[in-house]
Structure 1
């Protein structure tokens, strides 16, 4: 069976810290499998070579790139999360925006009663929405 999963490429060995934040923030989120770089394998020992994990029950993949790139995450590719509760939306927005960049503060933008867009401190872009 052919499958597709979002893939997050971190730089500077920050993948595990990002995953720790996401697992503590979102329900039904956990590590599925992880492979770390060993000494002499091309990346800093102990960083994530490749991982599969779930966020809100959806599978993602990630890695810590040992190669320095002239690019990083961009808001044009983001993860959209619908919330049933305004309180939960506001909690997650506060957690993810800490140390990050708010692109659109929580508000009513016409297409949603309560919506916000941000880049977290790792550069990952999130669109957070109160489901109608």
Structure 2
């Protein structure tokens, strides 16, 4: 497997078995989104056959990489690093917040926080942290 990216720095998300579910979910949320490439583990492993060995996907013009790690880890995602989304309008912010919060955890409920007329922060059902902002 060769990892190719035209970007110097790319956000890399490591999952333990649900990388494709997460990627598919994220792509469903944004109009300008696609799977750029995907390779899967074969019968020889080391990961579960058919799971994501490496994938690249794009959301709103930004590329992300993800994998299903064949190794179990004692860590997962943390809100200390989050994906910050500048929403086009209130409807987009509300839609994204509702979808990402479903089966996830709200860290900051939707509201006006002084720095933004409307802002919300959630961990989605996969543990990835998202800050959603409506610019002033």
Same fold (TM over 0.5): yes
Q: CA deviation at 1:41?
A: 2.0
* Cα root mean square deviation, aligned: 1.1
Q: Deviations over 1:57-93 (max 9, x none)?
A: 1011010111000000000000000011101100110
**Equivalent position to 1:114, from 102, 114, 118:** 118
- Who is 2:13 aligned against? 8
**Equivalent position to 2:60, from 56, 61, 64:** 56
**TM-score, normalization: structure 2?**
0.93
Partner Cα separation in structure 1 for residue 122 and residue 105 of structure 2:
6
Runs of 4+ displaced beyond 3 Å = none
**Equivalent position to 2:86, from 64, 82, 86:** 82
Partner Cα separation in structure 2 for residue 37 and residue 76 of structure 1:
30
SS in structure 1 at match of 2:23: helix
Aligned residue pairs total 131
Q: Deviations over 1:9-42 (max 9, x none)?
A: 011x111111111111112111000110011120
- Who is 1:101 aligned against? 105
**Equivalent position to 1:131, from 122, 129, 135:** 135
- Who is 2:32 aligned against? 28
Unmatched tracts of structure 1, length 5 or more: none
